[in-house]
């Protein structure tokens, strides 16, 4: 069974104001899909962390937000894309407490825990793409 992506929305991530707009758009999409307040909060938090990473470490980029349909299941996916320096060691970057920016080191690993699906691709010098998804329980 394959996913069908519908209603793609592309949002720039070039400033702190864009991160705020992204958070609001995620909230709107999650509400439109009927997610609980807890699931809304999880996805907004994960998206906010990834958007901040896109801005801070990737030099900006964009987020592609999609409503997902898979049979009777509904969900929301957000893909964050930057063309920054990339992540040289993905395994290390996903380790709790690891940081290159002086923070708590919970951004990537925290986003992974908050999402139902998490996929990260990165190559040094080529940028980073992270996709998170949240599915509405039956």
CATH of the domain at 111: 3.30.565.10
Sequential pLDDT tens for the chain (138 residues): 344 445 589 999 999 999 999 999 999 999 999 999 999 999 999 999 999 999 999 999 999 999 998 888 899 999 999 999 998 888 888 886 666 655 544 578 889 999 999 999 999 999 999 999 999 976
Rounded Cα distance between 71 and 1, Å, is 8
Pairing of strands 73-82, 4-13: unpaired
pLDDT the model gives residue 115:
96
Q: Count how many domains the chain has.
A: 1
Are 135 and 36 in contact by the 8 Å Cβ rule? The answer is no
Order across the sheet with 4-13: list the strands.
Answer: 4-13, 61-70, 73-82, 127-135, 117-123
pLDDT the model gives residue 7:
59
Record the pTM: 0.88
The DSSP symbol for 4 reads E
Segments forming the whole domain that contains residue 62: 4-135
């Amino acid at each position: 069974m394959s996913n069908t992506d519908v209603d793609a929305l592309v949002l720039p991530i070039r400033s702190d104001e864009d991160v705020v707009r992204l958070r609001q758009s995620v909230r709107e999409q999650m509400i439109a899909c009927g997610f609980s307040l807890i699931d809304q909060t999880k996805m907004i938090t994960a998206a906010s962390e990834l958007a901040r990473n896109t801005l801070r470490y990737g030099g900006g980029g964009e987020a592609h937000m999609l409503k997902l349909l898979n049979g009777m299941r509904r969900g929301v996916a957000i893909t964050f894309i930057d063309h920054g320096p990339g992540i040289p060691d993905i395994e290390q970057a996903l380790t709790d407490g690891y940081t290159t920016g002086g923070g708590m080191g919970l951004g990537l690993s925290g986003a992974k825990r908050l999402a139902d699906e998490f996929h990260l691709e990165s190559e040094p010098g080529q940028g980073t793409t992270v996709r998170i998804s949240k599915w509405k329980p039956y």
